[in-house]
Structures are given as C-alpha cells and as structure tokens.
Amino acid sequence: PKQAVLEGSGAAQQFTVRALYSDGTDRDVTKTAHFVSNNDVSAKVTKTGLVTADKRGEAFVMARYDAFTVGAQILAIPKDPSFAFPQVAEHNYIDTLVHTKLKKIRITPSEVTDDATYLRRVTLDITGTMPSPEEVRSFLADKDPKKREKRVDTLLERPEFTELWVMKFAELLQIRTDNNQFQYKSALQYYDWLKDQFARNVPMDKLTQALLTAKGGTFANPAANFYKVETDVLKLSENVAQVFMGMRMQCAQCHNHPFDRWTMNDYYGFAAFFAQVGRKTGEDQRETVVFDRGNGGVRHPVGNRDIPPKFLGADGGKPEPGQDRREVMAKWLASPQNPFFARNLANIVWAHFFGQGIVDPVDDVRISNPPSNPELLEELGKRFTDSNYNFKKLVRDICASRTYQL
C-alpha cells in the first residue's frame, strides 16, 4: 500500500514491490528489492519488506530495484480505543485533508485563535507589517462573521503583499548586484519586471514561461536576465529544477541518485534543453543579448555521447528541427502535464504561512524526503492548477482555512 496505519507496538504490514515492464509484463520483485526505513525508531523494515511498528511516529519506507526507487508512508500510533475525534468545523478542502491526517494519528486540533491574534498573524504574514492601532480597533469591533475572509482580501491588494513576494522570488532567482554578472541597471530592471508581474497577479505559469524562454537584450527584455545569473549549462539546469520543481538534481550528475528516481540520463537529458542558449554583449557594454544558437548539446560522461533533451519523469515533447529547445521545455514545465511545478509553488507558499513545508526543506523534493501530508500537497497543487495558477487564490485558500487560524 502507498500508506499504512499501524496501531500498537508490534503491528506489522507486509509490502509488495512490483515491476512493470515496457512490454506490458508485471513481475513481483519483492525478494530482490532493497528496503530501507528513514525512521527505524517508529517503524523497522526487514529485507523481505515486512514493516513492524515500534514507537509512535511517522516513517517512510523505500524500496529500490534496479534504477528505480518508490516509497510508502507509515503512521505508527498507540492503541487507544477511547479516542474520538471531535466535531470540528471545516472552512475548506485544506481543513478536510488536515483533519483526515489528524484522525489517523489521533491528534485533536487546537481551538481557533482570537481576533486580535489572527489579525496580527495574517497582517504580518501577508504584508510583512504590523496592523495599525486603528485597524485593530476596527477589526475587533466588527461583528461580521466573514470579517476574517474579507481582511485577507483587503491585505492581498496592498502593495506590501507584492513587495514581500517579489523579495522572496528575487532571492530564489538570485537577483543581486554583488557579482560580476549583474550591474545595478540590470538588477533593477529585472526586479521591476518581477514586481510588475506580481502586482498584476500574472498567472505563475505565464511568469515562469516568460523567464525560461526569454531572449533579446537584457535592457529591452529584463526577463532575459535570468540567463545572465548563471551561464554554466549544468548549473543552470540544476537551478531551474530546484527553483521551479523543488528538486536537487546535483546528485545525479556523477551517478544515479541513491535516494531518488533520477538517473544520469535524466540529469543530462534535462540539461540538454539549455545547451543552445547563446549570449553576446549588446551595443551597450552593460547589456547582454540572449539568443538561441540553434546548435550544441550536452555530452554524457559515460560513453561521451550526445544526449537528446528529455523532460524529468515524462516522455515526449521533442523539439522540432530549428525550434528553441527552451520553448518546448517551458511549455511542459509550467503546465498540468508537470505536476511537480504546481506542488512546488504550493509548498513554498505553505511554508511561508506555517513556518515549515509539507515537504521540508521546500527545495529538496525527493522520494526519500516525502510530504508529511501527501493528499494535502496533491490537492493544493491541483487547486492551484485549476485556478490557472492564480497566486492570490492560493494564498487566500490557505489564510481562510481553519488550520491557519489555530
């Protein structure tokens, strides 16, 4: 099973590993797979895949066969026949999925906080500022049962909300003036472009695609500065995977990742999308012109062979002759066909409001570092995608939840 709840010390669950081959055959490979638990204190696993609960806690059991790694969540809980989950209000889908997890691990949710605490919390989290005395008095005197949701809507329209998230993404995108690549003018224009995108609530897929396909002069098209930050093809591809999908691919550069699904072929195949990015100095010596060279590739260190571009965890979408490889990559990366994109952004936002990601650290998504609530992360990503990657809608959902108001 993908998840198992083991009640009481000594409770056990046998896991099965099956290999599905490209010719359609299906084989039980449990006896030849390698098993490991990331928390032996709570759940131990034998060489044959039998998991036994010990102390209360959460563990993740992985099975590795050939170049593939899969995993399952183990929830070890004490026996307590008297436990009853209380009747608790659910403001939206977030509360439903959080309560589902709490029921499994037998934890009663806290009470909702008072108005003054909520106002301070939500104002700091959304705008990075404290509420004014006048705002506090007005909010506490307001008898409207929907006042918290309305306050969130008001805060989302404040310029401080834009400035806070531009600051966060400027850090992720490494917009700075303290290296040899960036002059002040380039950094300022790049920052202003990003600020304009957030101020207009441009869908996050469109913003990402504009960055990844940017070309032309960095003064005329500030988004092209994305390719001025890092010029090494391998490091550039690593940055893209880490910022936009939360994956640390570095481990697969020299060998297949020991604790994730990624192989060297995946690593160099993804890097090949960036192998034809060209750069030259513009008429102004401070400006860089980014363009598609139309030739070039990435050599695999094993066999020194040229590797064609390949999506991470997906097939298809090969560039046509003469087509900019980045256009194909960006169209897939920031789309529903790539579930890592929406889940990663949802996880980044969640971590801001709760102090810890559903996957934590947020930029270390791998099979051996699973989400604490996989169903919640999946649903956040799905809702974010269904909203056409509306950033404010995602923040609104989180802040309106009962979970955020505890």
Taking the C-alpha atoms of residue 185 and residue 183, their distance in angstroms, rounded to an integer, is 6
Element (H, E) at 400: helix 391-400
SS3 of 202-225: CCHHHHHHHHHCCCEECCCCHHHH
Q: What digits encode the pLDDT tens for the residues 284-312?
A: 888 999 999 999 899 999 989 999 999 99
Cα–chain center distance at 199: 22
- Predicted pLDDT of residue 180: 55
Which of 20, 69, 33 lies closest to 366 in space, CA to CA? 69
Given a cut of 80, whether residue 179 has pLDDT beyond it is no
Note the pLDDT tens digit of each residue in 122-149: 999 999 999 999 999 999 999 999 999 9
How far is the C-alpha of 55 from the C-alpha of 75, rounded, in Å?
10
Q: Per residue in 309-364, pLDDT tens?
A: 999 988 777 788 888 999 999 999 999 999 899 999 999 999 999 999 999 999 99
Q: Is the pLDDT of residue 181 over 60?
A: no
Q: How far apart (Å, rounded) are the C-alpha atoms in residues 314 and 337?
A: 9
Q: How far apart are CA 119 and CA 130, in angstroms?
A: 9
Instruction: Name the DSSP class of 275.
Output: T
What's the pLDDT score for residue 178?
64
3-state SS assignment for residue 314: coil
User: Higher pLDDT residue, 242 or 179?
Assistant: 242
Residues of the chain above pLDDT 90, percent: 82
The pLDDT confidence band at residue 177, using thresholds 50, 70 and 90, is confident
314/221 Cα distance (integer angstroms): 31
> What is d(CA 277, CA 298) in angstroms, rounded to the nearest whole number?
12
| CA–CA dist 77, 53 (Å, integer) | 8
Return d(Cα 370, Cα 219) in angstroms, integer.
41
Q: From the CB of residue 80, how many other CB atoms can be counted at a distance below 10 Å?
A: 10
Question: What is the C-alpha separation between 368 and 73, in angstroms, rounded?
Answer: 10
The residue written with tokens 């020194």 in the block is 304
88 Cβ contact list (under 8 Å, min separation 6): 95, 99, 109, 402
Confidence label for 113 from pLDDT (cuts 50, 70 and 90): very high
Between 386 and 9, the higher pLDDT residue: 386
106: left (phi over 0), alpha (psi -120 to 50) or beta: left
At residue 255, does pLDDT exceed 90? no
**What DSSP state is assigned to residue 260?**
S
Note whether 164 and 194 are within 8 A (CB): no
Q: Where are the alpha helices (DSSP H) in 262-373?
A: 264-271, 325-333, 339-354
Q: Per mean pLDDT, which range of 12-21, 222-231, 252-261, 300-309 is the poorest? A: 252-261
- pLDDT tens for residues 67-101? 788 999 999 998 888 899 999 999 999 999 999 99
Three-state secondary-structure class, residue 403: coil
How confident is the model at residue 258, as a pLDDT? 72
Query: 362: Cβ–Cβ under 8 A, 6 or more apart, which residues?
Result: 246, 344, 347, 348, 351
- Reduce the DSSP state of residue 278 to 3 states and report it: strand
Provide the 10 A C-beta neighbour count for residue 301.
10
> How far apart are the C-alpha atoms of 363 and 233, rounded to whole Å?
20
The SS3 assignment for 240 reads helix
CB 342 within 8 Å of CB 382:
yes
- d(CA 383, CA 346) in angstroms, rounded, equals 9
Per-residue pLDDT, 262? 86
Model confidence pTM above 0.75:
yes
Total residues belonging to the chain: 406
In 3D, which of 26, 67, 40, 46 has the Cα closest to residue 261? 67
Name residue, tokens 């359609």.
24
What whole-number distance in Å separates Cα of residue 341 and Cα of residue 263?
Answer: 20
What does DSSP assign to residue 99? H
3-state secondary structure of 300: strand
